[in-house]
Amino acid sequence: MAVTGLVLVLFLVAHMLGNLKIFTGAEDFDHYAHWLRDLGTPLLPYGWYLWLQRGGLLIALAGHIWAATMLAVRARSARPVRYAHRKKVQGSYAARTMRWGGVIIALFVIYHILDLTTGHLNPIGDPSRPQANVVADFAPERWYVTLFYTLAVVALGFHLRHGAYSALRSLGQQTPQGERRARGLALVFAVALSVGYLVVPFAVLLGLVR
């Protein structure tokens, strides 16, 4: 869970930083998208690096979902008779929403790939003009796209808040001071990443990026 999660987190950071290129202009953003395909050449043929990365991410994602499913199955079988009266969250809200949050994020990722990678659900869907695709996506009249995006990113923020903290614990974080640090770090990281992702659609929505 922790190891596969950290691989996915590395990707999330890189992806967010790439997204922010939209603020330096359409040309920069498009150039970045093309560079991703060009990366590794001439050692690798054109586009291979991206496919290698996708393969790696898919393995990490499969491992992550498999581990989560195992935990959920074990949790279900560990309590065959449910409580008639169950107190709500006493530990952490983020921890309790990991499973459904994960499902929301997974559904969003599928939509996101069909939208901005393959272009099927995008109003423009032109792979040679990624910046135009993004701007068309978050246009004010397509407010529901922005809403879903925001929902998914907030779910991701919660997921990361507990996920990052829990991963550090799984990898052996063991002192009270370390626990406070890990909690703080996870919160700051989750907020920073969520904000980094959300500024793009809202900048488009408010007409700051066209």
Shortest approach of other proteins to residue 110 CB, angstroms? 24
Compute the distance between CA of residue 126 and CA of residue 132 in angstroms, rounded to an integer.
Answer: 8
Binding residues (CB under 8 A) for other proteins: these are 70-71, 74-75, 77-87, 90-92, 95-96, 98, 162, 165-166, 169-176, 178-179
Compute the distance between CA of residue 5 and CA of residue 167 in angstroms, rounded to an integer.
Answer: 8
Task: Judge contact between 200 and 22, C-beta under 8 A.
Answer: yes
Shortest approach of other proteins to residue 7 CB, angstroms? 18
Shortest approach of other proteins to residue 187 CB, angstroms? 14
- Residue 109's closest CA among 168, 53, 149? 149
Shortest approach of other proteins to residue 87 CB, angstroms? 4
Q: In terms of CB distance, is 99 or 142 closer to other proteins?
A: 99
Does residue 42 have a cis bond before it (omega within 30 degrees)?
yes
Q: How many CB atoms lie within 10 A of CB 55?
A: 10
Q: In terms of CB distance, is 71 or 208 closer to other proteins?
A: 71
Q: In terms of CB distance, is 118 or 170 closer to other proteins?
A: 170
Q: In terms of CB distance, is 33 or 105 closer to other proteins?
A: 105
Task: Judge contact between 192 and 20, C-beta under 8 A.
Answer: no
Q: How far apart are the first and last CA of the chain?
A: 39
